[in-house]
Amino acid sequence: MSRPPHILVADDEHSIRLMLETGLTHNGFRVTCVRSGREALEAARASAFDAVVSDIYMPDGDGLAIVPELRTINPTMPIILMTAQGSVELAVRAVADGASDFMAKPFEVAALAALVRRHLGARHERASNTAAESAELLTEFSRSGLIGRSPAMVAVYKLIAHAARTDAAVLVTGESGTGKELVARAIHDFSTRAARPFIAVNCSGLTDTLLEAELFGHTKGAFTGATKERVGLFAAADGGTLFLDELASTSAAFQASLLRVLQSGDVRRVGSTETQRVNVRVIGASNAPLREMVAAGNFRLDLFYRLSVLSIDLPPLHKRAGDIELLAHHFLRPKQGSPSFHLTREAAAALRAYSFPGNVRELENALTHAVALCSHGLITLDCLPSHIAATSATRLVSGADAETTMLADRPTMDELQRRYLQLVLNEVGGHRYRAASVLGLNRRTIQRLIARYNLEASAEPAEPGEVEGAEENNLAEENNLVANEPDFDERMLDQV
């Protein structure tokens, strides 16, 4: 009977180590657990392991740093990294440094066990990455703009990282507005073609003749309006990447022409009999289901298979709702010379509740709309498009939920004060003088703050012997009250 595979688990959290040890053992593995990257290297040098599962962020440094050393110890051993901070950059670094795969926390142990088995089964087909490959892949990520840490997006990042290491054609599918061109750019930016051109073409809305002339070039007089020769985009992208969007809108005739170029690597300009050899990586995209179009006879089967050597399907935004606030923070990030903007709790809740049929593009447009309407850098519910604002009930919560919600979206101090004051007003039925008593403030100050934040409140009848508005008629008394009153900011912080 063969021995069970021996797995080395490295994580600084005791609860995670215990969960993985129990779960992987239950799935038929022998498990050794360590608490740091240094201990993982010591264990790997002392014993032979079949695979390593390691957290990326540990107290003694970046878990990615131990991957090259583990590769030196055992070049073919599967190394699977765990992280709660998924990104394309991280996926590319992991693949470039020699990691076999990585998983986004939280995950099911059964899924991790299946992943380990898959890599153990394919172990003989893997080779370690060289330092040169790592240098080529570690290019600047800021141009790509892909944001998200949901499991669905982490899966996309892994596919991008692997696609960047090949020259194979890629088919990117997904609803409109999900970021298909961003994926294509990321593949290009992290590939060995990054120094060469990336050219994007929208195939919809062009006739066959114009599209072929755009892509393949044309001679003078090839068609009406062709007053001079033109170099096509295939030739212009030589050595780089050509992104063809909206392929589902193309005709059968154009699909045949594109297939011929993909098969031969030769381009013939419209109106010419001569061909030109080009070295172009093609990434296609469609928001329509090409496989279904193939079945219906509306798209060429041979072209579909030629384009979909690697396939990446982008999830719609409503299937990764946890990324909405990350995306919002990215879109609201202040540009040079521009003020910063922040979402209120109610506005953030409305964004989370909305389905976003237009996906990331619709979210970006909604925030652009909100920035144009908001004042003082605070995006409230009223600043959002009305159809998005209508998706969320604007009620304040109390107790522990209120405290958690107040802190969840990292509000400014000014916004935190406004929320707390509104919470107290709600608790006392909107009576400003009772709120002043709860907060330990004088009445003039509570009136000033209610007006400042445009809150709704009602006045209570004056007590016997008290004249309404007496404070307004005695400026010296008011100044004395304000001078001796504890600072509102500090009082708020103490109570929150």
At residue 93, does pLDDT exceed 90? no
What element of type H or E holds 448?
A: helix 443-452
Note whether residue 374 is domain-resident.
yes
Does 308 share its domain with 181?
yes
Q: Are the CB atoms for 80 and 101 separated by under 8 Å?
A: yes
- Separation CA 272–CA 93 (nearest Å): 45
At residue 465, does pLDDT exceed 60? no
Last residue of one domain, picked from the residues 370, 389, 408: 389
Last residue of one domain, picked from the residues 264, 295, 313: 313
Where does residue 245 rank: exposed (0-12), middle (13-18), buried (19+ CB within 10 A)? buried
Binned at pLDDT 50, 70 and 90, residue 144 comes out as: low
Mean pLDDT of the 58-62 span:
74
* pTM score of the predicted model: 0.59
Q: What are phi and psi of 277, to 5 degrees?
A: -80, 130
Does 407 share its domain with 287?
no
Does 384 share its domain with 410?
no
Note whether residue 143 is domain-resident.
no
pLDDT at residue 90 in the model: 75
Joined tokens for residue 326? 């990350």
pLDDT higher for 167 or 230?
167
Note whether residue 1 is domain-resident.
no
Last residue of one domain, picked from the residues 389, 422, 448: 389
Does 325 share its domain with 433?
no
Does 298 share its domain with 408?
no
Does 226 share its domain with 193?
yes
Does 17 share its domain with 121?
yes
pLDDT at residue 221 in the model: 72
Tell me the pLDDT tens digit for each residue of 261-318: 999 999 888 878 888 899 999 999 999 999 999 999 999 999 999 999 999 999 999 9
Does 306 share its domain with 332?
no
Number of domains observed in the structure of the chain: 4
Candidates 76, 180, 156; CA nearest to 120 is: 76
pLDDT at residue 398 in the model: 39
Tell me the pLDDT tens digit for each residue of 100-131: 888 877 788 888 998 898 888 765 443 333 33
Tell me the pLDDT tens digit for each residue of 170-203: 999 999 999 999 999 999 998 999 999 999 999 9
Note whether residue 194 is domain-resident.
yes
The CATH number of whichever domain residue 22 belongs to comes to: 3.40.50.2300
| Whether residue 106 has a cis bond before it, omega within 30° of 0 | yes
Tell me the pLDDT tens digit for each residue of 222-250: 677 777 888 889 999 999 999 999 999 99
Tell me the pLDDT tens digit for each residue of 316-326: 999 988 889 88
Does 293 share its domain with 382?
no
Note whether residue 151 is domain-resident.
no
pLDDT at residue 248 in the model: 93
The CATH number of whichever domain residue 215 belongs to comes to: 3.40.50.300
Binned at pLDDT 50, 70 and 90, residue 417 comes out as: confident
Binned at pLDDT 50, 70 and 90, residue 150 comes out as: confident
Q: Which amino acid is at 22?
A: T
Beta strands in 6-141 (DSSP E): 6-10, 30-34, 51-55, 57-58, 61-62, 79-83, 101-104
Note whether residue 262 is domain-resident.
yes
DSSP string, 175-194: STTS-HHHHHHHHHHTSTTT
How big, in percent rounded to 5, are the helix, strand and coil portions of the chain?
A: 50, 15, 35
Does 300 share its domain with 373?
no
pLDDT higher for 468 or 64?
64
Query: Of the given ranges (76-85, 89-98, 120-129, 228-237), which has the lowest mean pLDDT?
Result: 120-129
Direct distance between the N- and C-terminal alpha carbons of the chain, in angstroms, rounded to an integer = 62
pLDDT at residue 2 in the model: 66
Supply the range of the domain harboring residue 124.
6-137
Query: Of the given ranges (41-55, 141-155, 463-477), which has the lowest mean pLDDT?
Result: 463-477
Note whether residue 160 is domain-resident.
no
pLDDT higher for 1 or 179?
179
- Separation CA 191–CA 279 (nearest Å): 14
Beta strands in 287-360 (DSSP E): 310-313, 342-343
Binned at pLDDT 50, 70 and 90, residue 329 comes out as: confident
Q: Are the CB atoms for 98 and 129 separated by under 8 Å?
A: yes
pLDDT at residue 260 in the model: 92
Binned at pLDDT 50, 70 and 90, residue 345 comes out as: confident
Note whether residue 149 is domain-resident.
no
pLDDT at residue 269 in the model: 85
Joined tokens for residue 115? 């992943």
Which residues have CB under 8 Å from 145's CB, separation 6+?
179, 182, 330
Query: Of the given ranges (46-60, 107-121, 140-154, 161-175), which has the lowest mean pLDDT?
Result: 140-154
Does 347 share its domain with 480?
no
Does 215 share its domain with 281?
yes
Mean pLDDT of the 29-34 span:
94
